[in-house]
Chains A and B, each alone.
Chain A
Amino acid sequence: MTTRRDFLKSGGALIVSFSSVAALADDLAFAQGPFATQDRRVAAQLDSWLAIGNDGRVTAYTGKCELGQGIYTVQMQLVAEELSVPLSRVTLIQCDTSVAPDQGTTSGSQSTPTNFNEANLAQACATARDVLLRLGSERLGVPADQLTVADGEIRVTGNASRRVSYGDLVGGKKFNLTLSATAKRKTASEWTVLGKAVGRVDLPAMATGQFEFVHNVRLPGMLHGRVVRPPAVGATLVSVDESSVRGLPGFVKVVVRKNFVGVVAEKPWQAMQAAAQLKATWTPGVGLPGHGDFYTHLRNQKPTRDTLLVNSKDVDATLARATTVLKATYLHPYQMHASMGSSCAVADVQGGKATIWSPTQSAYPTRSGSALLLGLPVENVRVIFTRGSGCYGINGADTVSYDAALLSQAAGKPVRVQLSRKDEMAWENYGLAFVIDQRVGVDAHGAIVSWDYEGWSPTLGGRPGYDRPGNVVTGQLAGFDPAPFTARSPAPEPGGAFNNNSNAAPSYVTGCVGGRCGGAGTVKSERVLSHTVKSPFFTGPLRSPARLQNTFAHECFMDEIASHVKADPVAYRLRHLSDARLSHVVQEAAKAARWEARPSPKPNAARTGIVSGRGMSCVVYEGDNGYVAMVAEVEVDQATGRVHAKRFVVSQDCGPISNPDGMRNQIEGGALQGMSRALGEEVTWDDQKVTSVDWRTFHSLPLGFDVPAIESVLVNRTDVEATGAGETAITIVAAAIGNAIFDATGARVREVPFTPERVKAALAARGS
């Protein structure tokens, strides 16, 4: 691990940091060793973005981690581009709390906006380049505007023999630079590395079984832990009989911390045996609301926390005047991350210090949360992000990091914990269930004149952040409370600026708050009222959290309105949009799909057998973080209710594209994951516990289903800021499929997932 101090010791270096020279002297005084940085000056050590050594190598530090989305490779491209060095000369160190900057959580499609615009990593690179150019100008005696930067050298333009390398410029000197807000980045037209389809640098090692996932971390003397979760939601521990496992081979220890129970053994299989055989007595669970009528429970539950995102205060009057009022209710279940590999972490907690190898999206928050759990000062804890199975949000990564930490602390040795499939699925922080009531008024010309949204969703816990380890199961079992639920009703009037971060407002309203409008549409009469209630299960961000559920309701309802007024769904969307970029991706998707302009459903469709149809949906992700539209073409077998997607056409505008192949990979994965969620994924439970606990009871579409053709239309806009691309496409899939089912059959399915039973029920409910 190369730290800033290593660079300084090595002779010369050029370092770009948040803060300045004061930190330098402190750094140089640090002792060596794994915890050398762990003292009160830690903040001064950790503000470095990059360092250029006197060998010309660039080492960059980032707080945005690789989760499978390709951000590691594309950040290397960014560094290589801005500094004009080959990729092979770049080393990128990600999300290690002893050396990398605290960039919070890698989530919300925020890595690209954060590190690829005029701040942070990109700006640090520009700062370094700016200074190197000035140094080169002095050294060569030539004005900067007559110099070219290429291949890690400053060259006199038109006279390549006059040149000086970064390494020579750095020499034996120390340059400690503060991030400059004015350093100029390269324009996209100058890019030769960024913006190109550079292959993932980690793929060869992954494809050949050489890559070290956190699951593969092995430490000397490491033991293996297994947790024993309660048998029912809300059950608390009465007693544990350690003698039930004491004689088992390899058994080391039973660990109890309030309601947290785990076992430690020498080998994983031994730990599994011990966990299975441990006699623990628990109280009965608290009982769960019925799964069958959960949506009724959700809608009627009290107390609520109410929020008005937008309220033009004329909605009821406008609806009363409207020619037609349309209503519909949309239902979305709890879904889960259900990572391919159950979550795993390795912790070494000894002598009052802790190191945790964790697949968390939140290295620094996990460090703080672990410190609370372990009763250690935060500076004595180091979290080293180590790649896990794809998470798509807060899967078991944070909770298993706590598991490993607690077990290691008790055992006094390094402990590796990998959750069982069931423990992963039964206790993770689920994606939100939703009930959404939609109501619009339409005038005599078929235009929408008012949009009224009311939604209910349940919450408990979430990301632990820096101080809420109880937001995930391990923390709560160990005695920490989840964030409290604070009721509030009625909702206060909207204040501040319009912020459509959850996409609770449809794209078709003006989004006006305090006289300023931030929506993507034209409908001025608007009300968006959300209720959150307490959830019986932990909840948390799952790829496109709330945005996917809200967009499902908005984009299906838009289709219903278009059908009611007998308008083409694409033309009707465009009629109500004011945002040029959103309109553009809608048009691009329609064009690429050879969209046939006509109202849905398809005229004269057969009422039996297999029929086909197409559906459109679109969104501005988070209101301002990526534009996407999709056409889905499906076949519906009206005898079985099975839906078979044939083709997805996706058009996406995320500003300047950093890596087109990476963006396509995210679109394709998002489209198919969205399809799996739309067609089959649902958390289920009985009166005591979750029952969707493996791949037989939670249905993820395998590789062996008829995969639809996916066509991505990339809109590359280099004149605007870069936005995220990881969660855009998935947001609109359920609606596009639902609309295509309607187009094919005239049947509207308003509840996800679109199981054959629900499709058949909707078919049966069609009028004659």
Chain B
Amino acid sequence: MDAYSILWSDLMALKRRWPRYLLTTLISPLLYLVAFGWGLGRGINLNGTSYLEFVIPGIIALTAMTTSFNGAGTRLNVDRLYFKSFDECLMAPIGLSSLLMGKALIGVVRGVLSSVAFLAVAMLIAPAIHISPLFMVGLFLTCLTFAFLGVLAALLARSHEDMATFGSLILMPMTFLGGTFFSLSQVPTGLKYALYALPLTHSSMFLRAAALDQPLPWDSFFILLAFFATFLTGGMITLKKISI
């Protein structure tokens, strides 16, 4: 309930500018789609699927990652260090878990909104993409995981630059390497294992299998779940340290 109160305020803010939000959030996945799906990958065939169909779930995974991370993390970073309105939440008589949850939920909402908007556009281009309930579950878990990562990063950050650094050191490499644009079966073994350590790899693998009606890699689902649990716990510990 308290978590909803916090989400409520973020929803009010989003409501005021959602058309602009959707527009800006769609730009980069559409650029990826045009550059990699149509430009670079035209004519490439991967185990019987066209590269376009292959790359769309990857782009959805990275869109979900970026928008939910920023949706929760950048907001909280600004609230905490610049607007100082996070103090207001810390001084409210609510539990820390509600506070953490509330701050992450807006990331989930923004992540799902952006991914679904992109998905709607992508379905027009590649009708073979299949949206099952399990695909949505995977998408939701992806948003949840990265929203909590965003909250964790924002709670640890001491400045806006820290957030930007986190973005370029962690998110940016994941965007390109996390099984989004190429299949992990094509890379050398050593690199492959390194890439398996990235949460985004598992979310692209799961979403791709779901979208292309392939057998679902459940181990990826559970690894993602483990990442989610880790970020959640990390966020909780950090928040406990920040508050008294």
Partners in one complex: no
